Amino acid sequence: MLLKFKNHITQTFPFLEKKKLLLATSGGLDSMVMAHLFAQLDYDFAIAHCNFQLRGLESFGDQEFVSTAADNLKRQFFITQFDTEAFAKDYKLSTQVAARELRYNWFYELLETEGYDYILTAHHADDNLETFIINLSRGTGLDGLIGIPEQNESLIRPLLPFSREEIKQYAEDNAIKWREDSSNASNKYLRNKIRHDLVPVLKEINPNFLAAFQKTQEFLQEAQIMVEDASIMIYQQVAKEIGDEIHFDLNQLKRLTNYKSYLYQWLKEYEFSAWDDIYELVESQSGKQIFASEYRLLKDRTTLILSPIPEIQQEEFYIEINDKEVNFPLKLKLCNVGHITIDSNKAIFVDADKIRFPLLLRKRNEGDVFHPFGMNGKSKKVSKLFKDEKLSLIEKENTWILCSDNQIVWVVGIRQDERFKIENTTNKILKIELQ
């Protein structure tokens, strides 16, 4: 196995040779063999052990065992202890999920604080099979069937091609000691039920089942690459990136025979979960939204708009009489001028004597009314202006209103108010420009 492992590392992870590695080591069979293999190949690594304090004295026995093993291997040893049950209770997580979150947060912290380059875990081929069956039993797409990835950025799993049987045989041949986790014998957890009851039956039906499974996963991974390539090609036809938003053209999207699959490929990284609602959004009324933890998807006429959920911000800002420039939340420039120039809606010219400072810059309020420039004093609801301008919900949320004494001076970047316009009697002209 040592030669096979060496060849695997050389071919798959050649960049590890000169790097500082952090080996996640529980004291069990798999992680102890991984440490032994890397020691035989003389890699630069340290050992990191988490004591989750879930099995009383046994947990502390594991800790002492791994500490001694690190000394014997002459490797630096990092240890931490967690009150896993309290963490799980506080954050309403299962014990397994809590333990996973705690250990990986700590591992990544060690990378940063201690200057290590990669975290290595001892997941192997049987773990991969068990994960596949768990995902299959819960209902999953292609992502859940392609298996545990060999690398996630700085996290590497070098034992994935090796079976539990190979690893155990190597340990016995090289007199490697390990600790048995008593919880692995219990069928309390789904993974253990699969390991003890289902997998042995599959291997009895086909003694080469694990090898056949690995070949199937290779085919699935190749299919996934094809899906990703097709997804990128179609994305370029359907999507347009505008600032921090992505606009999906629904007319183009609905021409695809399987647009739901493409939507899933494009949106899965944003952690959406209500997929049926997302698919229905395509035919929903304009204005409907679906939310993930940090993003939202908005139906706006013939477009789906993906955007970050805006942070709650201060909604009112004041501009004093001596302010010549404003840099937040908008960049505005205020200056007195001698005459009006033909300009875009990025600037307005107002009678300075009609303005009362401080000016107020705020977001729209329900029921806002103003007198649009050019309408001879007629009033109009700001909401009606937004509708006439065909603004999306996101554009409405991002529009600011400039006020003087509770009267709207400017729906910024869109329309000036008639009441503050330049007249024959105007003595001073104030130009307010959006930059």
What three-state secondary structure class fits 318? strand
User: Where do the DSSP E strands lie in 192-242?
Assistant: 239-242
Distance of alpha carbon 61 from alpha carbon 182, whole angstroms: 12
> What is the strand order of the sheet 400-404 is part of?
316-319, 359-363, 400-404, 407-411, 415-416
| Residue 276 labeled ligand binder | no
| Residue 183 labeled ligand binder | no
The pLDDT, as a whole number, for residue 141 is 82
**Under 8 Å CB-to-CB from 45, ≥6 apart: which residues?**
20, 21, 22, 23, 35, 38, 39, 75, 120
Distance of alpha carbon 249 from alpha carbon 11, whole angstroms: 43
Q: Which residues pair with 363 in a beta bridge?
A: 400
DSSP element (H, E) containing 351: strand 347-351
- Listed as own residue / partner, the contacts of 309-312 with beta carbons closer than 8 Å and 24 or more positions apart are 310/397, 310/398
Average pLDDT over residues 246-255: 95
Distance of alpha carbon 90 from alpha carbon 196, whole angstroms: 32
DSSP element (H, E) containing 249: strand 245-249
Average pLDDT over residues 301-308: 94
**Under 8 Å CB-to-CB from 311, ≥6 apart: which residues?**
none
| Residue 154 labeled ligand binder | no
| Residue 31 labeled ligand binder | yes
Predicted confidence (pLDDT) at residue 312 exceeds the cutoff of 60: no
- What are the φ and ψ backbone dihedral angles of 141, each rounded to 5 degrees? -95, -165
The pLDDT, as a whole number, for residue 185 is 73
Burial group, residue 189, by CB count within 10 angstroms (0-12, 13-18, 19+):
middle
Average pLDDT over residues 203-212: 93
From residue 291, alpha-carbon distances to 284, 297, 310, 397 in Å are 15, 6, 12, 16
Predicted confidence (pLDDT) at residue 289 exceeds the cutoff of 60: yes
Average pLDDT over residues 66-89: 94
What are the chain's domains? 1-187 (3.40.50.620), 222-308 (1.20.59.20), 316-434 (3.50.40.10)
The mean pLDDT value of the chain amounts to 92
| Residue 26 labeled ligand binder | yes
The pLDDT, as a whole number, for residue 314 is 62
| Residue 231 labeled ligand binder | no
Predicted confidence (pLDDT) at residue 180 exceeds the cutoff of 90: no
From residue 407, alpha-carbon distances to 89, 209, 362 in Å are 53, 76, 12
Using alpha carbons, select from 341, 421, 418, 428 the residue that is nearest to residue 380: 418
pLDDT digits (tens, 9 = 90+) for 410-419: 999 999 999 9
The pLDDT, as a whole number, for residue 24 is 95
Question: Confidence band (pLDDT; 50, 70, 90) for 215?
Answer: very high
55: its two tokens: 């099995």
Distance of alpha carbon 129 from alpha carbon 141, whole angstroms: 16
